[in-house]
Structure 1
Amino acid sequence: MGSYQRHPRIDMHCHAVPPGYRQYAIDNGHSNPDGMPAMPKWTPKSHISLMQTLNITRSILSITSPGTHLTPDTSSSAATGTRQTNEELSAVCKSHPQHFSFFASLPLPDVSSSLLEIDHALDVLDAVGFAVLSNAHGVYLGDPRLDSVFDKLNARKAILFIHPTTCNILQDGDDGQPVPVAVKPQLGDHPRPMMEFMFDETRAIANLLLSGTVEKYPHITYIMSHCGCTLPPIIDRIAGFATLLGKKTGAQDTREEYKQLLRSRFYFDLAGFPFPDQIHGLLRVLGDKGHERLVYGTDYPFTPGGLVASLADELDRGCDELFGREDRERVYVGNAEWLLGLD
């Protein structure tokens, strides 16, 4: 599969669909998550086979959208479903310790259950961090309702892997009910991961910056997925509007402040289609040492194995053009090793 050079790599953005979670999602109406044609098949064996083909030395598994809080206003069942899913992923990792680690899920926006899950996932299940969605039933990262969760994550010096999901903006005057979204795709619809995911994660990162959350909790390390989504081309616009909305620093200082936070507090995975074009906007924002903030990702199995291989080929060619050998190795392995404490 593919003719790329097989440089070793650590996969920071890949997913698992173990049987318990698959049934849990189907039972809650997510047979076609976010308008995708189907939930992909997944087994540890098939995942390890792909890893061997691509020379992936470790994969950090996570649950992707729609996450583990599958139905609004069902906090009890969401807490149970999240706990069971995290335990299922932990068991997979313990059965294959040379291949897998995992980011645990949280039942956001249920704050009390999420606080309990943070300690359980780290202390009992050996999670290496947490996978959270850009919004949880319309509550976006950076919302003050989540401050106690971020306070706990900060105290635990957690890694927070942020994954996009379907946009779910709350409407004014509707008692907090989110904008309804279709569960099953219709003929002619575009699956939301095609475009809407990129906008929604950008919205979440903007909210983290604008709300002051990133500065307020200095010990959380963030991983933004998909090469920064649509953030790079509008980060200057976001900073400019922040000054119009009451931020006391000028536009130039605010731009530099936000870019410095991205350079020091965020990593960016290269899952998806960073080449031939997207990567250049992100590197302009990150500056001369941008390669120190990049990590590898496949998005398997939601990106099928054959496409993962061809994207790996394209990524190898692009990275060989942009980076020297040592810098490329940091992107593929070194940065992830540092994040995970493996070096």
Structure 2
Amino acid sequence: MSGSGGEAAAQCNHESPPLMPHGRRVKVIAVEEHLSTEAFLRTAHALDVIAGDEAEMALMRTVEESPVLRARLVDVDARLREMDAAGQDMAVLSLNPPGVQPYPATDAVPLARAFNDELAAIVRRYPGRFGGLGTAAPQDPAAAAAEIERVMGPLGLNGIMINSHTGGRYLDEPEFAPLLAAAEASRAPIYLHPRMLAAYRDYGMSGAVWGYQAEAGLHAMRLILSGTLDRYPGLTFVLGHLGEGIPYWLRRIDNRHAFAARTAGAATSMPRLSLTPSEYFRRNFVLTTSGMDDPDVLGLAVGAVGEDNVMFAIDFPYEDPAAAVAFLRNAPLTEDQRTALGHRTAERVFRLT
């Protein structure tokens, strides 16, 4: 990470938000913006990886060792210059995936704490330019719960990012109850970021081509259909990529869930739910645009959950900030919808001031 020499300029001289078609300037906050630090990378890359995560981590370490991508992850002053050039006011930062989840708990817990301390320092150093999503180690649910409380309390961050499955296990499973209880009590939004699964490793499907959305969508549906959101109704989950395909399926999910509950509920051990699946989705999930600069898909998502449940995101450093902001500027939205996507929903969900 570069030093603080550019701080004053970063805080005072950033460009105005982009002009929208109607001429009014709209504040732009992007909320899936990854970073790392040299200290984190040096430590993490020297650690052993838990069984089953070796292929994913080999790929991610290759990415993080690429000079160009590494610089974009760790150089905060260069990031601010790129934000200014694109007309982006603020970024909600999160640790580059898959975070600390591929490591043994004895390594992952202190690694999460150290990174969160660094992230909080970055947010403090550049007031008004960054928010932060802390990281946690679900491998140790009690420690993860304590870290969520620290992230939302003394560190003053804005939520947490969980990189979906941990050793093939998902947050609906009973062992993660302390983590979910702490997130609900602390009002910590949980950004569910995808991870790789073995079934998608062939033909390049493992990452953003297909496997990412399928894996994160699976996690979200497990949370909905398991009854987890009846036990923790105050939780807020954030899904990138305009909902990981779920908005497209909502009508069929409701229809087929009702049919299955009537005809095969006992045989399939389906929990009895208080709401329909789509009602949980609209109540407990907020979507982001990250990497989905498609006006038709955006229209579908806004129609499915409403503009007050969709936020702008870039997916830095993996997508182009200028292209993403141009999409927000030119998408066929009303003025109120553009304001909600541009900053209003993010300010509410992440309590940004």
Q: Which amino acid aligns with 1:329?
A: T
Compute the displacement of 1:261 (Å).
2.0
Amino acid corresponding to residue 230 of structure 2 in structure 1: E
In structure 1, list runs of 5 or more residues that go unmatched.
169-178
Which residue in the other structure is 1:64 paired with? Answer: 96
Counterparts of 2:350 and 2:275, CA distance in 1: 28
**What is the alpha-carbon distance in structure 1 between the residues aligned to residue 276 and residue 206 of structure 2?**
35
Partner of 1:232: 247
Between the aligned partners of 2:348 and 2:278, the Cα distance in structure 1 is 22
1:236, 1:34 → 2: CA distance? Answer: 40
Separation (CA, whole Å) in 2 of partners of 1:10 and 1:189:
31
Question: 1:102-181 counterparts in 2 under 5 A?
Answer: 102-167=132-197
Q: CA deviation at 1:4?
A: 7.3
Report matched runs for 1:1-343 at 5 Å: 5=20, 7-28=26-47, 30=57, 32-33=59-60, 38=66, 40-41=70-71, 42=73, 43-71=75-103, 74-167=104-197, 189=204, 192-243=207-258, 244=260, 257-286=276-305, 290-303=306-319, 307-318=320-331, 321=332, 323-342=333-352
Gap change, CA 1:226 and 1:273, over 3 Å in 2: same
Q: Greater RCO between the two (CA within 8 Å, min separation 6)?
A: 1
Deviation at 1:296, TM superposition (A): 0.7
Give the deviation of 1:314 after TM superposition. Answer: 2.6
CA contact (8 A) 2:241 2:289 kept: yes
- Please, what TM-score do these two structures have when normalized by structure 1? 0.81
2:138 and 2:78 map into 1 onto residues whose CA distance is 30
> Which one has a larger percent helix, Structure 1 or Structure 2?
2
**Contact 2:293–2:324 at 8 Å: present in 1 too?**
no
Q: Deviations over 1:124-167 (max 9, x none)?
A: 21111111112111111212221121112111122111111112
Q: 1:191: Cα distance to partner?
A: 5.5
Which residue matches 2:53? Answer: none
* In 2, Cα distance between equivalents of 1:24 and 1:217: 35
Aligned equivalents of 1:337, 1:324: Cα separation in 2: 19
Q: Which amino acid aligns with 1:309?
A: A
Provide the rounded CA distance (Å) in 2 between the counterparts of 1:340 and 1:256.
25
Q: 1:154 to 1:254 in 2, by over 3 A?
A: closer
* CA-CA distance at 1:35 after TM superposition: 7.7
Identity of aligned residues (%): 19
Change (3 A) 1:271 1:105: same
How far is the alpha carbon of 1:302 from its aligned partner?
2.5
